[in-house]
Every structure is written in C-alpha cells, then in structure tokens.
Amino acid sequence: MKKNNAQITVLGLWILIILTLLAIAIGQRVQFALGISRYQKDKLKADLLAKTAVNLAIAELESDASSDYDTLQDNWAEDVERFKKITLNGNPSEYASISYNIDKQYFGLVDEGRKINLNTAPRELLIALFSECGMMHRYAEDLADYVCVWRGDNNYYLNSNAEVYRNFKKSPFVRLEELVIVASQFYKDRGYYDYQRMARQLYMEVKDYVTVYSVSIYSYVNVNTVTKRVLLMLARSQVKSQEEMDCIEPIVEDILKQRSERGYFKNLDKIKLRDVVSGTSADETLFANLKSKFILYSRYFTIETQGYSGKVIRRIKAIYDRTTKNMVCWYEN
C-alpha cells in the first residue's frame, strides 16, 4: 500500500512538472505573439506617421507664396519647432520628424536647386567637384570623362566607343547611386583591389552636393540656397587664369555676404561686384561667368521623414517635383 502511494506521488510530481513546463512554453509563445503584435502595431503607426510627415512637407511647399524665388528664409527650409516633433495624438512616444544631415542635422527640406547636376554639369565643373572632395586633379579629370560618357556625351575628345567604356549605359543618370557604379569601374580600371570601397567613399563625399534633377538642360544653381562649397566649385570651374583664381574666395564671400544682408535675392540684377580684387578685368570676367550660372528658384525638393512609435522607426526619402506635383523618387525602409 505504501509502495503504491509512493508511486502515485512520483507520478503526480511528474505530471505537475510536465504541466508546469507546458504552461511556461505556452506563456513564452503567447509573450512572443504579443511582442510580434505590438511590433506590427508600432510598425504600422510609424509608417503612417512618416507618410503623414511627407504630406505635411508637401503642404508647406504648396503654401509658399514666393513662387518666383526660393530661399533659406522660406518655411520649408528649416523650422525646428514645426518639423522636429510632429505629434498627432498627443502621445510623446509616437511622433514624426522632417530632417536631413549635411555636416549637422537640420529640420526641414532640401531643394535640389542648390546642388550640381550630374547630367548637365560641364566637364570643368565635374573636375572641380571631384578635386574639391579630395581627388588628385589627374584622377578628377579622368573620372569626369567617365561620368560624361556614362550620361551619354558625344564630345570628340571622349572617345566614348573605347573598350574601357563598353559596359556604360550612355544615357542620363536616373538615380544618384549610379555614380557608385561609375566610380567602381574607374577605380577597378586603375588596378585598385578595394575599388568598391573607394567608390562608396567617394559617393559619400559628394552625395550632398550633387543631384540628377534639373530645371534646365544647362547647369544652374539657386543662388538663394547654394552652399559656399558648391559656389566655390562653380567658381573654380570658370577660372581661365591665375588672376581669376586669386579672385575666387573674395567674390564668393561677397556674394554670400550680399545674400546674408538682404536675406535673399528677388532679382539677379541685385547681385553686384562690389569689391575689386585683382585691379584687372579678371574680377569682372569671373563674376560675370559665375553670375550667368545663377537662378532664383528650385523645382525639385528632397523630403526625408522619420516616423517613431515605441521602438520602431520608419524612414522615407522622397523627391517631389513642385511643378508637376508628382513624386519622382520614393525610398522606404
């Protein structure tokens, strides 16, 4: 009898252990399922918040009253209070932001008009771009030729039918990331074993200063939004003599100073050559050539939004054409 009781006790303990383990397993599965459910809910919220922020950015662009000129004073350009934390339901852990990074974080939109267009930039401007970003001048010249052939230029000196260009598409850039392909081929042809890393590094150096979206077949920049670095590249591409080279910094500095004093330009005639640097015609020549590359407005705008919900972050990068009111590019993660 005692032996039977002991067996029953042991059996009962085993049943209890099995039930406990089963309960733990079920609890873990339920916890995992709840975690997945929370993640999906937060993912959906973050996605909707990011898309809502895109619509808000478009609304800001469309409400811009200054259709003849775009400036850094416009509401879309930078507004920390408006764009840093956009909430819809008052929950501080669920919000969106509109921001971009160029040296530091800004809260607003980027107009593509401030950048150098890879499809329309003259060879001299491409050379100035790559040189400014740390490339040796000889290499900058060669890479500029690669870019010109890739986008379909037919200038006689390029010899675009050469074997080295056999795999080039020979049509305009559609995505900025195509530059990585061009640079990879460039470095590979020069025998670098880590050509892909070098190409990505070059791309990271130049990506904030170039675009593939243009308002014209000519290479213009918006003087109201252009950065000093791009303005220096543009000026260096116009230089024909050492005298003009010596004028670059003072002229660029004065143009930016005039913009700062005025806030922005409504008319290109208001941009003046105020200080003579060289005492020769070099000042006027360089200034006139540089000024001929200016416009006052932008057509395309980059919108980068982030949606936050719980531990989930959703990011969207879009390019908006304000003239046709269409998205010409859209990235999500």
The ranges assigned to domains in the chain are 1-118+216-225+294-333, 119-215+226-293
Residue of higher predicted confidence among 119 and 3: 119
Average pLDDT score over residue span 185-207: 95
Whether residue 16 is predicted with pLDDT greater than 80 in this model: the reply is no
Whether residue 23 is predicted with pLDDT greater than 80 in this model: the reply is no
Average pLDDT score over residue span 205-223: 88
Distance (Å, rounded) from C-alpha 188 to C-alpha 152? 21
pLDDT band at 104 (very low <50, low <70, confident <90, very high): confident
Angle at 106 between CA 43 and CA 201, to 5 degrees: 85
**Given this model, what pLDDT does residue 260 score?**
92
**Given this model, what pLDDT does residue 38 score?**
78
**Given this model, what pLDDT does residue 212 score?**
95
Distance (Å, rounded) from C-alpha 295 to C-alpha 305? 28
Whether residue 241 is predicted with pLDDT greater than 90 in this model: the reply is no
pLDDT band at 109 (very low <50, low <70, confident <90, very high): very high
Whether residue 125 is predicted with pLDDT greater than 70 in this model: the reply is yes
**Given this model, what pLDDT does residue 39 score?**
79
Distance (Å, rounded) from C-alpha 277 to C-alpha 243? 9
Question: According to the per-residue pLDDT averaged within each range, which of 14-23, 100-109, 122-131 is highest?
Answer: 122-131
Q: Are 95 and 305 spatial neighbours (Cβ–Cβ below 8 Å)?
A: no
Residue 236 DSSP SS3 = helix
Whether residue 197 is predicted with pLDDT greater than 70 in this model: the reply is yes
pLDDT band at 27 (very low <50, low <70, confident <90, very high): low
**Given this model, what pLDDT does residue 216 score?**
75
Whether residue 215 is predicted with pLDDT greater than 90 in this model: the reply is no
**Given this model, what pLDDT does residue 279 score?**
61
Segment (H or E) for 328: strand 326-332
The mean pLDDT value of the chain amounts to 88
Distance (Å, rounded) from C-alpha 3 to C-alpha 103? 81
Residue with tokens 């870019």: 147
Whether residue 232 is predicted with pLDDT greater than 90 in this model: the reply is yes
**Given this model, what pLDDT does residue 17 score?**
74
pLDDT band at 277 (very low <50, low <70, confident <90, very high): low
Distance (Å, rounded) from C-alpha 97 to C-alpha 108? 9
Whether residue 164 is predicted with pLDDT greater than 60 in this model: the reply is yes
Q: Point out which residues pair with 96 in neighbouring strands.
A: 86, 307
Whether residue 320 is predicted with pLDDT greater than 70 in this model: the reply is yes
Percentage of the chain lying above the pLDDT 90 cut: 62
**Given this model, what pLDDT does residue 158 score?**
73
Average pLDDT score over residue span 42-54: 93
Whether residue 204 is predicted with pLDDT greater than 80 in this model: the reply is yes
Least confident of 193-197, 213-217, 223-227: 213-217
Distance (Å, rounded) from C-alpha 230 to C-alpha 239? 15
**Given this model, what pLDDT does residue 1 score?**
56
Amino acid at position 324, single letter:
T
Average pLDDT score over residue span 220-235: 94
**Given this model, what pLDDT does residue 138 score?**
93
pLDDT band at 20 (very low <50, low <70, confident <90, very high): confident
